């Protein structure tokens, strides 16, 4: 218990204090008030870039991962033979080390000789067309999609298993009742599955939003945050400020901005959930 206090509660307060200082770990910290925070939002162009990147990752990753894993879970929930084999395969990337996953993607997305480029060049040769694969890792346009692909590949199994367990909790009697009332498959999905699944969906969206804010290893290893900061995430920016440039105060300030952002987004969703999340208890 003391441990949690030493490694969590105390650091939180300590980190807030650091964020009001200028400190390089070598000389004594100097109190600068809110300066770290103010400069982040006024004259730090990289930080603005980092926020834009985070917003893009958030807007793309949350809906796409939710949709893909819901589709996969619906397909898995058909009482298929071999369901557990499918589930195992979809979960494999989740347990894989992010370092390994990112390195594999790095070689697969290589512009000249990667597997993806190779396939595209090959198709181009066959069709006699000058097909040009995207230069995933070296252009600002394609670096974000590369990070997004890696993140989806790595994490989609986790949310699929969550959705699947949600789907399996829906009583079959509800579907039977809906069928008797003449509901077709789409109506059953719209009026039985979606409402009964809404608390699972709510939980998944919350963790996906938090995950998008905290993205790190994916971009850090795959693209190093580049090119031209196109995939720099908040966490990497904290890491670089603290451990490359030894700006502890600034790094702590960024971590508090991140905390407040996550907190605000989560609170917003908890507020919004009353409109769309259905709880059986209320009935």
Instruction: For the segment 120-149, give every residue that binds another protein (CB under 8 A).
Output: 121-122
The yes or no reply on residue 27 touching another protein (CB under 8 A) is: no
Number of residues that bind another protein (CB under 8 A): 80
Q: Which stretch binds another protein (CB under 8 A): 30-38, 67-75, 174-182, 272-280?
A: 67-75
Q: Which is nearer to another protein, 88 or 140 (CB)?
A: 88
Contact residues for 203 (Cβ-Cβ < 8 A; gap 6+): 162
Helices (H), 169-247: 172-180, 185-188, 194-213, 217-222, 234-243
The yes or no reply on residue 93 touching another protein (CB under 8 A) is: yes
Give the C-alpha separation, 166 to 265, whole Å.
24
The yes or no reply on residue 268 touching another protein (CB under 8 A) is: no
Nearest C-alpha neighbor of 154 from the set 203, 85, 198, 219? 219
The yes or no reply on residue 55 touching another protein (CB under 8 A) is: no
The yes or no reply on residue 15 touching another protein (CB under 8 A) is: yes
Minimum Å gap between C-beta 130 and another protein is 15
Angle of helix 35-42 relative to helix 248-276, nearest 10 degrees? 70
Give the C-alpha separation, 35 to 21, whole Å.
8
Q: What is the dihedral of CA 134, 136, 142, 145, to 10 degrees?
A: 110
Give the one residue of 50, 137, 222, 258 binding another protein; rule: CB under 8 A.
Answer: 258
The yes or no reply on residue 153 touching another protein (CB under 8 A) is: yes
Q: Which stretch binds another protein (CB under 8 A): 14-22, 53-61, 137-145, 186-194?
A: 14-22
Query: Measured between alpha carbons, how far is residue 245 from residues 15, 23, 89, 108, 207 in Å?
Result: 17, 11, 41, 32, 31
Give the one residue of 34, 59, 75, 228 binding another protein; rule: CB under 8 A.
Answer: 75
The yes or no reply on residue 264 touching another protein (CB under 8 A) is: no
The yes or no reply on residue 243 touching another protein (CB under 8 A) is: yes
């Amino acid at each position: 218990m003391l441990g949690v206090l030493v490694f969590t509660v105390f650091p939180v307060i300590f980190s807030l204090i650091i964020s009001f200082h200028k400190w390089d770990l070598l000389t004594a910290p100097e109190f600068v008030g809110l300066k770290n925070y103010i400069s982040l939002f006024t004259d730090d162009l990289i930080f603005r870039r980092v926020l834009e990147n985070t917003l893009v990752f958030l807007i793309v990753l949350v809906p796409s991962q939710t949709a893909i894993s819901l589709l996969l879970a619906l397909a898995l929930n058909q009482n298929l033979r071999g369901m557990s084999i499918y589930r195992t395969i979809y979960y494999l990337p989740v347990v894989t080390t992010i370092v390994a996953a990112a390195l594999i993607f790095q070689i697969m997305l290589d512009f000249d000789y990667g597997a993806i480029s190779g396939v595209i060049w090959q198709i181009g040769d066959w069709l006699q067309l000058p097909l040009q694969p995207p230069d995933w890792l070296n252009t600002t346009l394609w670096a974000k999609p590369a990070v997004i692909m890696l993140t989806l590949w790595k994490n989609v199994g986790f949310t699929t298993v969550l959705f699947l367990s949600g789907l399996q909790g829906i009583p079959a009697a509800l579907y039977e009742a809906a069928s008797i009332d003449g509901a077709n498959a789409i109506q059953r999905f719209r009026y039985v599955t979606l409402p009964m699944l809404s608390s699972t969906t709510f939980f998944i969206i919350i963790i996906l939003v938090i995950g998008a804010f905290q993205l790190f290893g994916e971009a850090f290893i795959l693209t190093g945050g580049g090119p031209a900061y196109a995939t720099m995430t908040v966490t990497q920016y904290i890491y670089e400020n603290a451990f490359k440039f030894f700006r502890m105060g600034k790094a702590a300030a960024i971590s508090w901005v991140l905390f407040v952002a996550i907190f605000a987004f989560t609170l917003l969703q908890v507020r919004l959930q009353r409109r769309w999340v259905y709880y059986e208890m209320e009935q």
